[in-house]
Structure 1
Amino acid sequence: MRKFNIYFDIETIPTQSKQLKTHIQNNLTPPSNYKKQEAIDAWIEEHKDIVYRKTALNGGFGQIVCIGYAINDENVRVIYFDDWASSEKQILQSFFNDLIERYRPSSDITPHFIGHNIENFDLRFIYQRAIVLDVIPPAFLPLNNKSYNNMYIFDSMTEWAGKRNYASLNEVCLALGIEPKSDDIDGSKVWDLVREGKIKQVADYCAADVEKVRLIHKRMTFQNAS
């Protein structure tokens, strides 16, 4: 059976809604052992930026700034815009439209969505952002992944570490002799780089991750085995 392999990765940033940011920061609750108001105020001030940054991991609040993907062995494409603060809907629409244009449902071609930690993060995040932004996804995209047969999803983290365990992309790369990520950037630095106007650097980082995922997938499925 022929396959339509979609290797992909997303990069996300914290919410850009001032209302959401204010609500989240104003509703911080310190640990119960904090009794003095001075200590409580200090704790809240210290954790305001931390809790805000964590919205980048929440599809209901955060925002996608780029999507990198490759079909089968084709070159990686990264969808992003310099006007990152207001382009998320356009990013999703462009990604969805390209998949629809490229893939025609067929009994002998199965779409496989391949990535690292996509089952619990990337696909869920895309699904939630599509709902928030009212962007209709392709019918064949396994966004609400628990409702789909896992044959449509190849999550390299789950395949490597098992259902309830975690393994970073770098860890798998090192184990397989694949060049790991550069120390210059990781997910925790994406928001800072975006704010500094370095969205192209983030897009390149995303593209590199897609390439690594493709190499890992081929190793895990023994495509180049002798």
Structure 2
Amino acid sequence: MLDRINLKNILVLDIETVPQYAAYEELPEQWKELWKKKMARDIKEGLTPDGLYQRAGIYAEFGKIICICAGYFFENGSGLQFKVKAFYGDDEKKLLEEFNDTLNKSFSTDEHLLCGHNSKEFDFPYIARRCLINGLPIPYLLDNAGKKPWEVQLIDTMDMWKFGDYKSFTSLNLLAAVFGIESPKDDIDGSQVWSTYWIDKDLERIKNYCMKDVVTDAQLLLKFKGMELLKPENISFTN
């Protein structure tokens, strides 16, 4: 599996997102109404707009990116290495500009690929949408309008694991357990990002969690290629 893909051409990424406001009550009136319409089906089932607002981070129209972590493979005298860089902060436009600049400088040829887990459904379109909302150009690898399916340079480990089966979602944590990879959920998980950001104000903790997800997905790629897992000493991190 993935025999024809060169690991050195892959940038593995993950994003963390939160609602744009700490609570539903802080939304401008227009946006309260828009949120109610977005959640109309759930509201009919007895849930409330404010009770549902913690979900807002998963929608690019109502959320924002607070962290993008991206990692790449390379080799040195000690063998295969993996390095992860974090772009994070409260200023979404600034972190997007920094990420896009890195992407356009180092990963912008027809040989390069972006990879994530459930990223075709979430991370990739979310980044592209938030770029447009912030008045930024979409990076080359994410600007797929008009491309044929085989021209799109995006791969998704969850999509690969389906092997054509579209019945279910398989989490990164589950696949990590299946392949004997250390769990990235040893501190917080995705459901806790909202409170960790808006209540605890602990962006560093979210960044560390995001970095672990990237490493886990990179290890999963190696397993998909029938390769040995990276040792801790072959993984490095930078901000």
Please give the range of the TM-score, normalised by the shorter of the 2 chains: 0.7 to 0.9
Structure 1: how far apart are the matches of 2:143 and 2:225?
Answer: 21
Stretch deviating more after TM superposition (68-77 or 136-145): 136-145
Q: Could you tell me which residue of structure 1 aligns to residue 68 of structure 2?
A: 67
**One of 72, 82, 87 as aligned partner of 1:79:** 87
Residue 151 (structure 1) shift: 6.2
Structure 2: how far apart are the matches of 1:55 and 1:149?
Answer: 32
TM-score when normalising by structure 2 = 0.76
Residues 28-78 of structure 1 show CA distances to partners (whole Å, capped at 9, x for unaligned) of 65438xxxxxxxxxx4xx523332122211112211000000122442111
Residue 158 (structure 1) shift: 1.1
1:55 and 2:19 correspond: no
Q: In the alignment, residue 202 of structure 1 is paired with which amino acid?
A: I
Q: Could you tell me which residue of structure 2 aligns to residue 12 of structure 1?
A: 17
Structure 2: how far apart are the matches of 1:178 and 1:150?
Answer: 31
Structure 2: how far apart are the matches of 1:49 and 1:208?
Answer: 31
Structure 2: how far apart are the matches of 1:58 and 1:224?
Answer: 36
TM-score when normalising by structure 1 = 0.80
Uncovered stretches (5+) of structure 2, i.e. residues with no partner: 74-80, 230-239
Structure 1: how far apart are the matches of 2:122 and 2:147?
Answer: 12
Superposition pairs for residues 67-216 of structure 1, below 5 Å?
67-72=68-73, 73-81=81-89, 84=90, 87-103=91-107, 105=109, 110-141=111-142, 148-149=149-150, 152-163=153-164, 164=166, 165-195=168-198, 196-216=200-220
Q: Could you tell me which residue of structure 1 aligns to residue 77 of structure 2?
A: none
Stretch deviating more after TM superposition (196-205 or 146-155): 146-155
Stretch deviating more after TM superposition (47-56 or 152-161): 47-56
Which structure would you say has the larger Rg? Answer: 1
Structure 2: how far apart are the matches of 1:150 and 1:223?
Answer: 27
Structure 2: how far apart are the matches of 1:151 and 1:56?
Answer: 26
Aligned residues: 206
Residue 147 (structure 1) shift: 5.2
Q: Any idea what SS the aligned residue of 2:139 has?
A: coil
